[in-house]
Amino acid sequence: MTDIVNHKHTVDEVLGLYRKGGDEQYFGEEISQTEHALQSAWLAEKAGASPAIVTAALLHDVGHLLHGQGEHIADEDIDARHEAVGAAYLAQRFNTEVVAAVSLHVMAKRYLVGTDPAYATNLSPASVHSLELQGGPMGLEEAAEFAAKKASAGAIALRRWDDEAKVVGLKTPDLDHFRPYLEASLRR
């Protein structure tokens, strides 16, 4: 019974971050943090992704809600390393597949820009600006090292949903819809 209570508390805590601070605008986009998270997770769910990758899609930008530096820091040319902040927080709560996808989703953008010329043409202006702050496109050697990582495929899929999840007014399931995915992806 204690595990069930602890799991419910953990999921409530994480979803509470979005309920508390998720209404803020998502960096440089016309949607909120929560709308972006929900759209990403919904795309992952519709693609038949594993519970851990759906969870990662929902929580990939949780670092933005945790770093405490506001969403305009990129305008000051500062990279808050939200992926590292989020992964560190999630590592105490979720399995390694979730944590790896979250920690690598920025590298996945850099990888895709470095290896797929068409990919960069679809990035939003805000994503292009953050790419510069995050190190720019990967070179061939770095791209090969990234592609060899076990978690790279999940991170790349997550990255593509992340890029698509910026649609103003899109109706998605609510946060509680994704609760079973989070529960299935908790650290055991």
What is the rounded CA–CA span in Å between residue 7 and residue 13?
Answer: 10
* Token pair recorded at residue 8: 């419910």
Which residue matches tokens 């992704």? 49
Among 48-52, 72-76, 171-175, whose mean pLDDT is lowest?
Answer: 72-76
Q: What is the predicted pLDDT for the residue at 1?
A: 46
Q: Where are the alpha helices (DSSP H) in the chain?
A: 2-21, 33-46, 51-59, 62-66, 82-91, 96-115, 117-120, 125-133, 140-147, 152-164, 179-184
Per-residue pLDDT, averaged over 158-186, amounts to 96
Tell me the CATH number for domain 2-184: 1.10.3210.10
Residue pLDDT, tens place only, 128-138: 887 888 888 99
Query: Model confidence at 117, in pLDDT bands (50, 70, 90)?
Result: confident
Per-residue pLDDT, averaged over 51-64, amounts to 95
* Token pair recorded at residue 72: 């305009």
Question: Between these two residues, 124 and 101, which has the higher pLDDT value?
Answer: 101
Share of the chain above pLDDT 90, in %: 66
Query: Model confidence at 55, in pLDDT bands (50, 70, 90)?
Result: very high
Report the predicted TM-score, pTM, of the whole model to 2 decimal places.
0.88
Share of the chain above pLDDT 70, in %: 87
Output the DSSP codes for 13-29: HHHHHHHHHTTSBPTTS
Residue pLDDT, tens place only, 4-35: 547 789 999 999 999 998 887 666 678 899 99
